[in-house]
Amino acid sequence: MRVLMILPALTEATSPLFRPIKYSLFPPLGLATLAGYLPPDDDVRIVDEHVERFDPAAFEMPDLVVIQAYITSARRSYELADWYRARGVFVAMGGLHVTSLPDEAARHADSVFCGPGEDTWPVFLADLRRRATLPRYTSKQRTLEGLPPIRRDLIQRHRYLVPNSIVVSRGCPHHCDFCYKDAFFEGGKSFYTQAVDDALAEIDRLPGRHLYFLDDHLFGNKRFATELFAGMRGMGRVWQAAGTVDTILQPDLLERAVDAGLRSMFVGFETINADNLAEQRKRQNVGRDYGAVVRRLREAGVMVNASFVFGMDSDGPDVFDRTVDWAVRQGIETATFHIMTPYPGTALFRRIASEGRIKHHQWELYDTRHVVYEPRGMTASQLSEGYWRAYKDFYRWRNLWRGAATKGVLGDRVRHLAYAGGWKKFERVWDVLIRSGQVLHALPLLEAALSSFGSRHPARGSRPSYDSGGLVKGAV
C-alpha cells in the first residue's frame, strides 16, 4: 500500500519573502509515530509543508492519504483532502482541529479521528484492509504501552534545527480554560506516560547530544519524571523541556533534571495579573512567586523561555509594557508572547461565544497573533498593537543588554546576548539556512550554548540582588 502522510503548512510558513525559524524547529513526530504501525512493506512518505514545497500533482497517486490538521492549517488541510478525494484516494484526517470540529472535518475526509490515535489507528488500518472503515474513530483507551518505534527514517533530519524531538507522555494533569487539551482528550485519560524503559530506549535511538521534549508537561508525573531523569544521568545529553511554575518550585525534582542534562525550560507564566489566573483556571500558577521561579532556574543553571498571553479580561492597555519590563528585569533569556485565542472545543471558546464576543470563524487567523474576539479591558486595536510592541521591545538591543546585565558573570552576560539575540536579531540568516536546507548545521551552536548552562551551581545568595517580582507585589 502506498501511504502519503501530510502536515499542511500554517500560512506564515509558506511566505515567499520570509519564514521564521520556529516553523523549522521540529519534525512531524505525530505522523512518524502513526507510520510506525504500518507494515514494513508499505510504501510510506511524510511531507511537511513547513519545510518543503508540495504539489500533489507531481507525485504518484497514493492509496491512502493521512492529514494532520491544526486550526490555522484547516483551510489548506481541506484543500488537499478535497483534491485527493476527487481522484478516488481514501483520506483520513485527525489532529487538534479535527477533534474540536469533527463534523466540519468529516465533510472533507473519508474517516476522521477524534483524540489521540494509539488505540484507534491500528483498528482503522485493520478496517481499511478489509474495506470496512468507519466514518469516525474516537479514542477511548489511553495507553502508550506497546507503542512501536517511531519511523524516524521517514524524517528529513537536515531540514530541522531540532530533529531529536521526543514525546514520552500525552496531555497534561491541569485543566486551563484556554487549552485545547480537555477537548482533545475527552472521553478518556487526559494525562498518561510511557513506561520509563520505553522512553529511555527511544532516547538511545537518537543520535547526537541534543534532545527537545515536546511534552506538554514533562514534570507532570513526579514518579515517572524522577525515574526518567535517573535513567538519563550519564548519557551526556543536553535537553530542553516544558514545566509549570509549581513543579519548578518543588524541592529536588529540578535538580534531578539538571543532573540528567536539562539546560532550558519553557515556562508558562501566562500573565502577571493574578485575577486572570483564577478566571482561566490556571491554578498551578495562583499564589506563586514568579521571581522565585526565575531565580531557582537560574541558580540551577537552566535558561528560561517564558510564555505570556495578552488579552485576558483583567488586562488593560498597560499590561504589555509591565510584562516586558518585568521579564527584562528578571534576566529572562527568551520570551514568547501570544494574543489570547479561544480555540473551538475549549471552555474559553464556549464562554466567549456565549457572551457574543467571537468576531469570526476564519480559522487561519486563530494563530495567537490576531485578535479574533472582543476584548474587555481594551480595544482590539490596542491588543494587537500592544502584542507586536511587546515582541519588538523585549528583543531591542537595549533590553537585551539590560537582561544580560542581571547576570553576575561576564560569560553569562555574553551567552545571554548571543542566545537571545540569535533568535530575533538574525532572522534573515535563519531564513537563508531554511531555504537552502542547511538549518541543521546550526545545531552545534545550539548544543554549545546549552552545554554552557548548568556548568556552575552557585550557592543561593551569590547572585546580585534584584526584586522578587512576585505575582501581585513588587515588579508587577
pLDDT tens track of the chain, all 476 residues?
A: 999 999 998 766 666 555 566 778 899 999 999 999 999 999 999 999 988 889 999 889 999 999 999 999 999 999 999 999 999 999 999 999 999 999 999 999 999 999 999 999 999 999 999 999 999 999 999 999 989 999 999 999 988 989 999 999 998 877 777 777 777 878 778 889 999 999 999 999 999 999 999 999 899 899 999 999 999 999 999 999 998 888 898 888 999 999 999 999 999 888 887 665 555 444 444 446 888 899 999 999 999 999 999 999 989 999 999 999 999 999 999 999 999 999 998 889 999 999 999 999 999 999 999 999 999 999 999 999 999 999 999 999 999 999 999 988 888 888 888 888 877 777 667 667 767 777 787 788 778 777 777 654 443 333 333 233 334 333 33
What's the CA gap between 153 and 458, in Å, rounded? 42
pLDDT at 11: 67
Helices 222-232 & 196-204, crossing angle to 10 degrees?
40
What are the structural domains, with CATH classification, of the chain? 2-138 (3.40.50.280), 161-452 (3.80.30.20)
Phi, psi of 469 (to 5 degrees): 60, 35
The answer to whether the beta carbons of residues 53 and 19 sit under 8 Å apart is no
Helical H segments across 301-363, by residue range = 319-329, 347-354
Q: What residues contact 436, with CB distance under 8 A and at least 6 apart?
A: none
Q: What residues contact 388, with CB distance under 8 A and at least 6 apart?
A: none
Residue 312 has which C-alpha cell?
A: 485576558
Phi, psi of 342 (to 5 degrees): -80, 95
Residue 385 has which C-alpha cell?
A: 498593537
**Owner of C-alpha cell 485527493:** 84
Length of the chain: 476
* Closest alpha carbon to 341 in 373, 318, 317: 373
Helices (H) and strands (E) in the chain, counts: 19, 14
Q: Are strands 169-171 and 191-193 parallel, antiparallel or unpaired?
A: antiparallel
What's the CA gap between 190 and 176, in Å, rounded? 12
Q: How many other C-beta atoms can be found within 10 angstroms of the C-beta atom of residue 355?
A: 11
CA 231 and chain centroid, separation: 25
What's the CA gap between 51 and 27, in Å, rounded? 9
Extended strands (E) in 19-62: 43-48
Instruction: Give Cα separations from 187 to 96, 211, 252 (angstroms).
Output: 15, 32, 34
What Rg value do the Cα atoms of the chain yield, rounded? 22
What's the CA gap between 44 and 48, in Å, rounded? 13
Order of all β-strands in the sheet with 111-114: 43-48, 2-7, 64-68, 90-94, 111-114, 136-138
Q: How many other C-beta atoms can be found within 10 angstroms of the C-beta atom of residue 96?
A: 20
* Type and span of the H or E element at 394: helix 380-394
Helix (H, G, I), strand (E, B) or coil at 45: strand
Judge residue 246's burial from the number of C-beta atoms within 10 Å of its C-beta, 0-12 exposed, 13-18 middle, 19 or more buried: middle
Residue 164 has which C-alpha cell?
A: 531529536
The answer to whether the beta carbons of residues 219 and 247 sit under 8 Å apart is yes
pLDDT at 25: 85
Residue type for position 30 = G
Phi, psi of 67 (to 5 degrees): -120, 130
CA atoms within 13 A on the CB side of 20: 9
pLDDT at 281: 47
